[in-house]
């Protein structure tokens, strides 16, 4: 397609699969931190504020009406401009992320709210013209690379067109029943004399693609209409509007050309928009050849067909797998909600540092990497509880990081009674790890065992028995940050005597002949 970079990779699945090789840096990195940050953090209500504020009866719609006004008068475009990032200190945050173990860093480039958080050449609604008046992605890029990290971006634009359709609807009940919201009634000419003078709201809200019809009289009926129509996860272009897909490709190519990211995250099941998604992937890989002389970048997407996993890296959002994958993969999760939610702090419902490290151990043991989002407020800060979680991660890494970074899976990922759910978006079904759950990694001839829950007594590990060790001979077992660990081995199992007191997820290093 016009504007794409030519090179060895053609815009086809056959070419992506035949040309791509997973970079060694990604195999080694294991842990990334994600700044999933934008204007939707301003209300501190959590995820998808820009959609739910328009859905009468939703808690976010109630909050919006109380705090900002009715969405016929004050909509998401106004929230975008309230995002000021006035206390953002990226250097300080990056220092904390590095201490917590991050080897790569990802900046959100554009979410479904359709605001480009970068110096965008193809979209007027961007963070240099609206809100913070800063190049957020460009700032993160300089700071991350200055800290020695690989740098990535996440692109969620492709779903904006259906995600925003409630902004064209109306209240089906109440005193303003039937009055269309701001997206329906505003055009570029309406901005004269206002803060958004010169900007076209339709370029933000994407246009009338699936507009709720007149005559809906109840909230339940309106919600059902949205669920049936724009509430689906759609990977195609808007009906009759290829221009949205063409502009998506231009914005994506601009993003990678400007910031040369080592990783690009697509929030899509496969590649979006058919040939446009394939063109974007080929363009990115061919640019990498120009930058590095080889394809040394990572492009992630979700729910990939088996063959496609050899042309991209599969991302398993907020999910688990129950086996070692042949190819590298990534899971992404969050300490709380993707966008900052104040209630996570007040009700103490963040993921704990222990849970993060447990999750990291499980993912790495199965040939994966963990991308962890640390939600920021609209002003750019993190709260005190998030700071404590990062500090606890840093303390664990100071002792145990050798078991994680540049490691590889063993012949089995682990042992223990917990059977994990598999697939995306299944963290809610997970009840937690228990004593006896262990995970393994290998590096430089050593085997590392990570006890996900510190044992209260002798720890029996069947897969470390002589039969399961496949002839390997154990010479010594050492607790990282401690000393020798008493152990005994039979054909059926190894029994280890770990100290009772110590950090969460203790790690032992097992050395000998032929064990890894």
Number of domains in the chain: 2
State what percent of residues in the chain have pLDDT above 90: 97
Q: Give residue-wise pLDDT tens across range 284-337.
A: 999 999 999 999 999 999 999 999 999 999 999 999 999 999 999 999 999 999
Residue bearing tokens 């899971």: 331
Over residues 261-268, the mean pLDDT reads 98
The per-residue pLDDT for range 237-262, each reduced to its tens digit, is: 999 999 999 999 999 999 999 999 99
In a domain, 209, yes or no: no
Give the model confidence (pLDDT) of 434-463 as tens digits: 999 999 999 999 999 999 999 999 999 999
C-alpha 507/C-alpha 121 separation (Å) is: 49
* 438, 396: one domain: no
Q: In the predicted model, is pLDDT for residue 501 greater than 80?
A: no
Q: Are residues 304 and 280 in the same domain?
A: yes
Contact 294, 288 (CB under 8 A): yes
| 353 and 471 assigned to the same domain | no
The pLDDT of residue 421 is 87
- Identify any residues that bridge with 315 across adjacent strands, giving them in sequence order: 330
pLDDT band of residue 470 (cuts 50, 70, 90) is confident
Whether residues 367 and 290 share a domain: the answer is yes
Q: Average pLDDT of the chain?
A: 97
Q: Which of 300, 294, 29 is nearest to 149 (CA)?
A: 29
Position 387 scores a pLDDT of 98
What is the pLDDT, as a whole number, of residue 428?
87
Q: What residue numbers bound the domain in which 477 lies? A: 414-513
What is the model's pLDDT at position 284?
A: 98
What's the rounded Cα separation, in Å, for the pair 413 and 281? 32
Supply the pLDDT for residue 379. 98
pTM of the model: 0.98
2 pLDDT more than 90? no
Q: What is the CATH number of the domain that holds 465?
A: 2.60.40.1180
How much is the pLDDT for 429? Answer: 87
Domain boundary among 348, 376, 403: 403
Quick one: 20 and 132 in the same domain?
A: yes
Residue 284 and residue 147 share a domain:
yes
465 and 421 within one domain: yes
382 and 432 share one domain: no
**pLDDT band for position 502 (cuts 50, 70, 90):** confident
Q: Is 187 exposed, middle or buried (0-12, 13-18, 19+ CB in 10 A)?
A: exposed
Give the model's confidence band at 168: pLDDT under 50 very low, under 70 low, under 90 confident, else very high: very high
């Amino acid at each position: 397609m016009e504007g794409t970079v030519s090179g060895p990779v053609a815009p086809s699945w056959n070419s992506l699969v035949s040309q791509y090789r997973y970079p060694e840096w990604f195999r080694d990195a294991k842990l990334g931190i994600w700044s999933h940050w934008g204007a939707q953090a301003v209300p501190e209500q959590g995820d998808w504020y820009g959609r739910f504020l328009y859905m009468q009866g939703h808690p976010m719609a109630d909050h919006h009406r109380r705090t900002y006004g009715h969405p016929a008068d004050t909509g998401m475009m106004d929230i975008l401009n309230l995002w000021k990032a006035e206390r953002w200190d990226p250097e300080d945050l990056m220092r904390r992320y590095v201490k917590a173990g991050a080897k790569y860093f990802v900046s959100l480039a554009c979410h479904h709210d359709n605001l480009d958080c970068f110096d965008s050449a193809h979209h007027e609604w961007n963070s240099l013209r609206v809100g913070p008046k800063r190049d957020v992605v460009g700032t993160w890029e300089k700071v991350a690379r200055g800290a020695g990290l690989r740098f990535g971006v996440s692109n969620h634009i492709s779903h904006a067109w259906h995600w925003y359709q409630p902004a064209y609807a109306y209240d089906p009940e109440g005193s303003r029943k039937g009055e269309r919201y701001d997206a329906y009634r505003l055009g570029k000419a309406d901005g004269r004399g206002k803060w958004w003078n010169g900007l076209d709201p339709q370029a933000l809200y994407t246009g009338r693609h699936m507009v709720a019809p007149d005559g809906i009289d109840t909230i339940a009926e309106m919600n059902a209409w949205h669920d049936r129509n724009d509430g689906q996860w759609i990977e195609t272009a808007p009906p009759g509007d290829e221009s949205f897909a063409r502009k998506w490709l231009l914005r994506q190519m601009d993003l990678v050309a400007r910031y040369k990211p080592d990783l690009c995250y697509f929030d899509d099941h496969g590649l979006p928009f058919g040939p446009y998604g394939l063109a974007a992937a080929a363009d990115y890989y061919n640019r990498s050849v120009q930058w590095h002389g080889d394809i040394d970048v990572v492009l992630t997407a979700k729910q990939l067909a088996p063959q496609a996993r050899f042309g991209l890296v599969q991302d398993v959002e907020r999910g688990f797998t129950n086996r070692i994958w042949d190819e590298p993969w990534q899971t992404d999760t969050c300490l709380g909600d993707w966008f900052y939610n104040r209630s996570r702090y007040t009700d103490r419902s963040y993921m704990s540092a222990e849970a993060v490290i447990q999750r990291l151990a499980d993912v790495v043991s199965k040939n994966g990497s963990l991308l962890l989002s640390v939600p920021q407020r609209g002003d750019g800060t993190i709260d005190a509880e998030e700071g404590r979680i990062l500090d606890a991660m840093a303390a664990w890494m100071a002792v145990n990081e050798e078991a994680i970074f540049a490691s590889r899976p063993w012949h089995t990922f682990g042992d223990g009674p917990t059977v994990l759910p598999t697939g995306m978006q299944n963290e809610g079904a997970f009840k937690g790890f228990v004593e006896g759950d262990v995970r393994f990694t290998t590096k430089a001839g050593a085997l590392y065992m990570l006890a996900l829950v510190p044992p209260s007594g002798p720890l029996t590990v069947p897969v470390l028995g002589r039969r399961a060790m496949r002839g390997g001979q154990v010479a010594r077992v050492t607790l990282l940050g401690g000393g020798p660990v008493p152990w005994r081995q039979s054909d059926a199992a190894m029994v280890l005597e770990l100290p009772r007191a110590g950090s969460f997820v203790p790690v032992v290093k097992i050395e000998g002949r032929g064990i890894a």
